[in-house]
A = this chain, B = another copy of it.
Amino acid sequence: MPAYGNDPLTGEVARRFNALFERDVAVFLVSTGTAANGLAFAAACPPYGVIFVHAAAHAQVDECGAPEFFTGGAKLIALHGDNGKVAPGTLAEALAHFYDGFVHHAQPSVLSLTQSTESGTVYTCAEIDALAQVARARRIAVHMDGARFANALVHLGCSPAEATWKAGVDLMSFGATKNGCLAAEAVVFFHPECVRSFDFLRKRSGHLVSKHRVLSAQMLAYLDGDLWLRLASHANRMATQLSSALHGIAGVRLWYPVEANEVFVSFPGDVAWRLMAKGASFHPWQVPGDPAGGRMCRLVTSFNTHADDVDRFVELVRALCEP
Protein backbone atom coordinates (compact mmCIF):
# COMPACT_ATOMS: atom_id res chain seq x y z
CA MET A 1 0.00 0.00 0.00
CA PRO A 2 1.45 3.41 -0.82
CA ALA A 3 2.36 5.37 2.28
CA TYR A 4 1.72 8.93 3.47
CA GLY A 5 -1.79 9.23 2.09
CA ASN A 6 -1.21 8.10 -1.48
CA ASP A 7 -3.37 5.03 -0.91
CA PRO A 8 -6.84 4.41 -2.38
CA LEU A 9 -8.62 4.67 0.97
CA THR A 10 -7.36 8.20 1.44
CA GLY A 11 -8.49 9.08 -2.06
CA GLU A 12 -11.90 7.75 -1.12
CA VAL A 13 -11.93 9.94 2.00
CA ALA A 14 -11.43 13.00 -0.19
CA ARG A 15 -14.34 12.05 -2.42
CA ARG A 16 -16.54 11.28 0.56
CA PHE A 17 -15.96 14.67 2.14
CA ASN A 18 -16.74 16.43 -1.11
CA ALA A 19 -20.03 14.61 -1.21
CA LEU A 20 -20.69 15.15 2.46
CA PHE A 21 -20.24 18.90 2.20
CA GLU A 22 -21.74 19.24 -1.30
CA ARG A 23 -18.70 21.07 -2.64
CA ASP A 24 -15.02 20.63 -3.27
CA VAL A 25 -13.19 20.72 0.01
CA ALA A 26 -9.62 19.94 1.00
CA VAL A 27 -9.42 17.36 3.76
CA PHE A 28 -6.44 16.23 5.84
CA LEU A 29 -6.48 13.54 8.50
CA VAL A 30 -4.58 13.62 11.78
CA SER A 31 -4.81 11.57 14.93
CA THR A 32 -5.78 14.10 17.60
CA GLY A 33 -8.13 17.03 18.00
CA THR A 34 -5.37 19.19 19.42
CA ALA A 35 -3.36 18.63 16.25
CA ALA A 36 -6.38 19.37 14.07
CA ASN A 37 -7.02 22.67 15.82
CA GLY A 38 -3.36 23.68 16.00
CA LEU A 39 -2.70 22.94 12.35
CA ALA A 40 -5.90 24.66 11.25
CA PHE A 41 -4.82 27.76 13.15
CA ALA A 42 -1.29 27.59 11.73
CA ALA A 43 -2.76 27.50 8.23
CA ALA A 44 -5.11 30.44 8.81
CA CYS A 45 -3.20 32.70 11.18
CA PRO A 46 0.20 34.40 10.86
CA PRO A 47 2.55 34.35 13.86
CA TYR A 48 1.49 37.91 14.63
CA GLY A 49 -2.20 37.07 14.41
CA VAL A 50 -5.01 36.96 16.94
CA ILE A 51 -7.35 34.00 17.39
CA PHE A 52 -10.62 34.74 19.16
CA VAL A 53 -12.05 31.89 21.21
CA HIS A 54 -14.60 31.41 23.93
CA ALA A 55 -12.98 31.55 27.36
CA ALA A 56 -13.96 27.92 27.94
CA ALA A 57 -12.78 26.66 24.55
CA HIS A 58 -10.67 23.52 24.46
CA ALA A 59 -8.05 25.40 22.43
CA GLN A 60 -7.76 27.99 25.19
CA VAL A 61 -8.05 25.78 28.24
CA ASP A 62 -7.12 22.19 27.50
CA GLU A 63 -4.44 22.10 24.84
CA CYS A 64 -1.42 23.22 26.89
CA GLY A 65 -0.74 26.11 24.54
CA ALA A 66 -0.89 24.08 21.32
CA PRO A 67 -2.41 26.92 19.27
CA GLU A 68 0.44 29.19 20.31
CA PHE A 69 2.95 26.46 19.47
CA PHE A 70 1.60 25.55 16.04
CA THR A 71 1.19 29.16 14.94
CA GLY A 72 4.63 30.28 16.09
CA GLY A 73 3.20 32.49 18.81
CA ALA A 74 -0.22 33.80 17.82
CA LYS A 75 -2.25 35.46 20.56
CA LEU A 76 -5.48 33.92 21.83
CA ILE A 77 -8.12 36.31 23.07
CA ALA A 78 -10.68 34.68 25.33
CA LEU A 79 -14.26 35.92 24.98
CA HIS A 80 -16.94 35.36 27.56
CA GLY A 81 -20.48 34.39 26.75
CA ASP A 82 -23.45 32.55 28.15
CA ASN A 83 -24.00 28.86 27.54
CA GLY A 84 -20.53 28.45 26.08
CA LYS A 85 -21.33 30.66 23.12
CA VAL A 86 -19.69 33.80 21.79
CA ALA A 87 -22.21 36.53 20.99
CA PRO A 88 -21.72 38.64 17.85
CA GLY A 89 -21.63 41.83 19.90
CA THR A 90 -18.92 40.43 22.12
CA LEU A 91 -16.83 39.55 19.11
CA ALA A 92 -17.37 42.95 17.57
CA GLU A 93 -16.38 44.68 20.81
CA ALA A 94 -13.21 42.60 21.07
CA LEU A 95 -12.29 43.24 17.44
CA ALA A 96 -12.67 46.96 18.03
CA HIS A 97 -9.66 46.83 20.34
CA PHE A 98 -7.40 45.71 17.51
CA TYR A 99 -6.65 48.14 14.70
CA ASP A 100 -5.93 46.76 11.24
CA GLY A 101 -2.40 47.48 10.15
CA PHE A 102 -1.50 49.13 13.48
CA VAL A 103 1.94 47.74 14.09
CA HIS A 104 1.64 47.56 17.87
CA HIS A 105 -1.41 45.32 17.73
CA ALA A 106 -1.41 41.66 16.93
CA GLN A 107 -3.69 41.33 13.91
CA PRO A 108 -7.14 39.71 14.07
CA SER A 109 -6.99 36.56 11.97
CA VAL A 110 -9.30 33.79 13.16
CA LEU A 111 -12.55 33.32 15.04
CA SER A 112 -12.78 29.80 16.41
CA LEU A 113 -16.22 28.48 17.38
CA THR A 114 -16.69 25.24 19.28
CA GLN A 115 -19.58 23.16 18.00
CA SER A 116 -21.12 21.69 20.09
CA THR A 117 -19.84 24.09 22.73
CA GLU A 118 -17.95 23.32 25.92
CA SER A 119 -21.25 23.81 27.74
CA GLY A 120 -23.02 21.13 25.73
CA THR A 121 -25.05 23.65 23.75
CA VAL A 122 -25.26 24.04 19.99
CA TYR A 123 -24.89 27.19 17.88
CA THR A 124 -27.81 27.53 15.49
CA CYS A 125 -26.97 28.13 11.85
CA ALA A 126 -28.29 31.66 12.24
CA GLU A 127 -26.00 32.26 15.20
CA ILE A 128 -23.00 31.04 13.21
CA ASP A 129 -23.99 33.20 10.30
CA ALA A 130 -24.28 36.27 12.50
CA LEU A 131 -20.81 35.67 13.94
CA ALA A 132 -19.37 34.99 10.50
CA GLN A 133 -20.69 38.30 9.27
CA VAL A 134 -18.87 40.12 12.05
CA ALA A 135 -15.75 38.14 11.21
CA ARG A 136 -16.02 38.76 7.50
CA ALA A 137 -16.30 42.49 8.06
CA ARG A 138 -12.77 42.32 9.44
CA ARG A 139 -11.60 39.71 6.93
CA ILE A 140 -10.83 37.10 9.55
CA ALA A 141 -11.32 33.40 8.98
CA VAL A 142 -14.03 31.45 10.77
CA HIS A 143 -12.85 28.14 12.19
CA MET A 144 -15.14 25.58 13.74
CA ASP A 145 -13.74 23.26 16.38
CA GLY A 146 -16.02 20.38 15.59
CA ALA A 147 -14.67 17.85 18.05
CA ARG A 148 -18.36 17.14 18.75
CA PHE A 149 -19.67 18.21 15.35
CA ALA A 150 -21.77 15.09 14.89
CA ASN A 151 -23.67 15.76 18.13
CA ALA A 152 -24.32 19.32 17.04
CA LEU A 153 -25.46 18.33 13.59
CA VAL A 154 -27.93 15.77 14.91
CA HIS A 155 -29.36 18.43 17.19
CA LEU A 156 -29.63 20.98 14.37
CA GLY A 157 -31.17 18.54 11.96
CA CYS A 158 -29.63 20.29 9.00
CA SER A 159 -27.03 19.29 6.43
CA PRO A 160 -23.26 19.46 7.09
CA ALA A 161 -23.06 22.16 4.42
CA GLU A 162 -25.75 24.27 6.07
CA ALA A 163 -24.04 23.96 9.44
CA THR A 164 -20.66 25.04 8.13
CA TRP A 165 -19.69 26.83 4.94
CA LYS A 166 -23.20 27.94 4.05
CA ALA A 167 -23.24 29.68 7.43
CA GLY A 168 -19.82 31.24 6.82
CA VAL A 169 -17.36 28.71 8.22
CA ASP A 170 -14.04 28.72 6.34
CA LEU A 171 -12.29 25.74 7.87
CA MET A 172 -13.03 23.19 10.55
CA SER A 173 -11.70 20.47 12.77
CA PHE A 174 -14.02 17.57 12.06
CA GLY A 175 -13.92 15.31 15.08
CA ALA A 176 -14.40 11.57 15.00
CA THR A 177 -12.50 10.20 17.98
CA LYS A 178 -14.96 11.30 20.64
CA ASN A 179 -17.79 9.76 18.64
CA GLY A 180 -16.35 6.32 18.10
CA CYS A 181 -13.08 6.31 16.14
CA LEU A 182 -9.85 5.13 17.70
CA ALA A 183 -7.84 8.21 16.78
CA ALA A 184 -8.96 10.11 13.70
CA GLU A 185 -9.79 13.74 13.08
CA ALA A 186 -10.03 15.73 9.89
CA VAL A 187 -9.08 19.28 9.05
CA VAL A 188 -11.45 20.49 6.35
CA PHE A 189 -10.89 23.62 4.26
CA PHE A 190 -13.96 25.01 2.50
CA HIS A 191 -11.84 27.44 0.51
CA PRO A 192 -8.52 26.55 -0.99
CA GLU A 193 -6.56 29.68 -0.08
CA CYS A 194 -5.16 28.44 3.23
CA VAL A 195 -4.31 24.98 1.99
CA ARG A 196 -1.06 25.56 0.17
CA SER A 197 1.23 25.17 3.16
CA PHE A 198 -0.83 22.65 5.09
CA ASP A 199 0.97 19.55 3.87
CA PHE A 200 4.27 20.94 5.08
CA LEU A 201 2.90 22.12 8.42
CA ARG A 202 1.40 18.68 9.06
CA LYS A 203 4.57 16.85 8.12
CA ARG A 204 6.91 19.02 10.13
CA SER A 205 4.77 18.71 13.24
CA GLY A 206 4.98 14.92 13.00
CA HIS A 207 1.33 14.49 12.08
CA LEU A 208 1.67 12.86 8.68
CA VAL A 209 1.10 9.21 9.55
CA SER A 210 3.10 6.89 7.28
CA LYS A 211 0.51 4.10 7.18
CA HIS A 212 -2.06 6.74 6.49
CA ARG A 213 -4.76 4.26 5.53
CA VAL A 214 -5.08 3.51 9.26
CA LEU A 215 -6.67 6.95 9.61
CA SER A 216 -8.61 6.76 6.37
CA ALA A 217 -10.15 3.40 7.15
CA GLN A 218 -11.46 4.74 10.43
CA MET A 219 -12.95 7.80 8.78
CA LEU A 220 -14.62 5.80 6.01
CA ALA A 221 -16.17 3.39 8.48
CA TYR A 222 -17.29 6.35 10.53
CA LEU A 223 -19.09 7.93 7.60
CA ASP A 224 -20.40 4.71 6.03
CA GLY A 225 -24.16 4.44 6.17
CA ASP A 226 -24.31 7.55 8.36
CA LEU A 227 -22.84 5.59 11.25
CA TRP A 228 -21.45 8.83 12.68
CA LEU A 229 -24.90 10.38 12.84
CA ARG A 230 -26.45 7.29 14.36
CA LEU A 231 -23.79 7.17 17.04
CA ALA A 232 -24.24 10.84 17.83
CA SER A 233 -28.03 10.52 17.90
CA HIS A 234 -27.73 7.81 20.47
CA ALA A 235 -25.31 9.84 22.59
CA ASN A 236 -27.59 12.86 22.45
CA ARG A 237 -30.63 10.79 23.37
CA MET A 238 -28.81 9.40 26.37
CA ALA A 239 -27.98 12.95 27.48
CA THR A 240 -31.60 13.98 27.15
CA GLN A 241 -32.75 10.93 29.08
CA LEU A 242 -30.18 11.69 31.76
CA SER A 243 -31.02 15.34 32.18
CA SER A 244 -34.77 14.67 32.16
CA ALA A 245 -34.39 12.10 34.87
CA LEU A 246 -32.11 14.28 37.00
CA HIS A 247 -34.48 17.20 36.71
CA GLY A 248 -36.46 17.56 39.86
CA ILE A 249 -34.27 15.47 42.14
CA ALA A 250 -33.87 17.45 45.35
CA GLY A 251 -30.72 19.57 45.40
CA VAL A 252 -29.66 18.64 41.90
CA ARG A 253 -29.23 21.59 39.59
CA LEU A 254 -28.83 21.51 35.82
CA TRP A 255 -26.80 24.35 34.37
CA TYR A 256 -27.13 24.63 30.61
CA PRO A 257 -29.63 23.61 27.96
CA VAL A 258 -28.87 20.00 27.05
CA GLU A 259 -28.52 20.02 23.28
CA ALA A 260 -25.75 17.54 22.59
CA ASN A 261 -24.13 14.76 24.62
CA GLU A 262 -23.13 16.62 27.76
CA VAL A 263 -25.05 17.38 30.93
CA PHE A 264 -23.72 19.93 33.41
CA VAL A 265 -25.03 19.50 36.87
CA SER A 266 -24.28 20.27 40.48
CA PHE A 267 -25.06 17.89 43.30
CA PRO A 268 -25.77 18.83 46.87
CA GLY A 269 -23.36 18.24 49.76
CA ASP A 270 -20.89 15.44 49.16
CA VAL A 271 -23.03 13.62 46.66
CA ALA A 272 -20.60 14.09 43.79
CA TRP A 273 -17.87 12.56 45.86
CA ARG A 274 -20.00 9.66 46.93
CA LEU A 275 -21.09 8.98 43.35
CA MET A 276 -17.49 8.69 42.32
CA ALA A 277 -16.79 6.45 45.29
CA LYS A 278 -19.49 4.14 43.99
CA GLY A 279 -17.79 3.97 40.60
CA ALA A 280 -19.49 6.69 38.60
CA SER A 281 -17.03 8.27 36.20
CA PHE A 282 -17.26 12.01 35.54
CA HIS A 283 -15.20 15.11 36.10
CA PRO A 284 -15.51 18.26 38.16
CA TRP A 285 -15.85 21.11 35.70
CA GLN A 286 -14.55 24.60 36.05
CA VAL A 287 -15.91 27.39 33.94
CA PRO A 288 -15.01 31.06 33.72
CA GLY A 289 -17.11 32.87 36.29
CA ASP A 290 -18.12 29.56 37.91
CA PRO A 291 -21.84 30.02 38.62
CA ALA A 292 -21.93 26.77 40.57
CA GLY A 293 -19.52 27.72 43.32
CA GLY A 294 -17.02 25.01 42.45
CA ARG A 295 -19.65 22.28 42.41
CA MET A 296 -20.23 21.84 38.69
CA CYS A 297 -19.82 18.35 37.20
CA ARG A 298 -19.73 17.36 33.56
CA LEU A 299 -21.58 14.18 32.62
CA VAL A 300 -20.77 12.95 29.14
CA THR A 301 -22.79 10.38 27.26
CA SER A 302 -21.43 8.64 24.21
CA PHE A 303 -22.01 6.11 21.48
CA ASN A 304 -21.50 3.33 24.02
CA THR A 305 -23.63 4.64 26.87
CA HIS A 306 -26.49 2.27 27.66
CA ALA A 307 -29.91 3.47 28.70
CA ASP A 308 -29.73 1.09 31.63
CA ASP A 309 -26.53 2.72 32.80
CA VAL A 310 -28.26 6.07 32.72
CA ASP A 311 -31.12 4.70 34.77
CA ARG A 312 -28.78 3.15 37.31
CA PHE A 313 -26.83 6.39 37.65
CA VAL A 314 -30.00 8.41 38.15
CA GLU A 315 -31.25 5.96 40.77
CA LEU A 316 -27.96 6.32 42.57
CA VAL A 317 -28.26 10.09 42.54
CA ARG A 318 -31.82 9.92 43.78
CA ALA A 319 -30.90 7.56 46.59
CA LEU A 320 -28.11 9.87 47.74
CA CYS A 321 -30.08 13.10 47.39
CA GLU A 322 -33.45 11.92 48.64
CA PRO A 323 -32.58 9.29 51.23
The residue on B at minimum CB distance from A50 is B65
Instruction: Check A90 for interface membership: any CB of B closer than 8 A.
Output: no
Which residues 19-70 of A have a CB within 8 angstroms of B?
30-36, 38-39, 46-50, 61-66, 68-70
A interface residues with partner B (beta carbon < 8 Å): 4, 30-36, 38-39, 46-50, 61-66, 68-78, 96-97, 103-107, 177-178, 182-183, 197, 199-211, 214, 286, 288
What's the least CB distance linking A209 to chain B, in Å?
Answer: 5
The residue on B at minimum CB distance from A4 is B103
Contacts A72-B47, A211-B183 given; indicate if A204 touches B63 (C-beta within 8 A): yes
Please name all residues of chain B whose beta carbon is closer than 8 Å to the beta carbon of A4 when the two chains form the complex: 103-104
By the criterion CB–CB under 8 Å, are B48 and A65 in contact? Answer: yes
By the criterion CB–CB under 8 Å, are B64 and A106 in contact? Answer: yes
Please name all residues of chain B whose beta carbon is closer than 8 Å to the beta carbon of A177 when the two chains form the complex: 210-211
By the criterion CB–CB under 8 Å, are B286 and A66 in contact? Answer: no
**Copies in the assembly, this chain:** 4
Tell me, in angstroms, the Cα distance from A182 to B68 when the chains sit together.
Answer: 30
By the criterion CB–CB under 8 Å, are B97 and A199 in contact? Answer: no
Contacts A31-B183, A76-B75 given; indicate if A208 touches B103 (C-beta within 8 A): yes
By the criterion CB–CB under 8 Å, are B74 and A203 in contact? Answer: no
What's the least CB distance linking A53 to chain B, in Å?
Answer: 11
The residue on B at minimum CB distance from A77 is B78
What's the least CB distance linking A289 to chain B, in Å?
Answer: 10
What's the least CB distance linking A261 to chain B, in Å?
Answer: 16
By the criterion CB–CB under 8 Å, are B204 and A48 in contact? Answer: yes
What's the least CB distance linking A127 to chain B, in Å?
Answer: 25
Please name all residues of chain B whose beta carbon is closer than 8 Å to the beta carbon of A202 when the two chains form the complex: 103
Contacts A4-B103, A182-B211 given; indicate if A69 touches B47 (C-beta within 8 A): yes
By the criterion CB–CB under 8 Å, are A183 and B38 in contact? Answer: no
Please name all residues of chain B whose beta carbon is closer than 8 Å to the beta carbon of A64 when the two chains form the complex: 48, 103-107, 200, 203-204
What's the least CB distance linking A284 to chain B, in Å?
Answer: 11
Tell me, in angstroms, the Cα distance from A61 to B4 when the chains sit together.
Answer: 16
Tell me, in angstroms, the Cα distance from A105 to B199 when the chains sit together.
Answer: 11
Please name all residues of chain B whose beta carbon is closer than 8 Å to the beta carbon of A65 when the two chains form the complex: 47-50, 73-75, 106, 204
Q: List 12 A-B contacts (CB under 8 A).
A: A32-B206, A47-B204, A48-B65, A50-B65, A63-B206, A64-B105, A73-B73, A96-B286, A97-B288, A103-B208, A177-B210, A183-B209
Contacts A65-B75, A68-B74 given; indicate if A200 touches B107 (C-beta within 8 A): yes
The residue on B at minimum CB distance from A199 is B103
The residue on B at minimum CB distance from A48 is B200
Tell me, in angstroms, the Cα distance from A30 to B34 when the chains sit together.
Answer: 14
Tell me, in angstroms, the Cα distance from A21 to B193 when the chains sit together.
Answer: 35
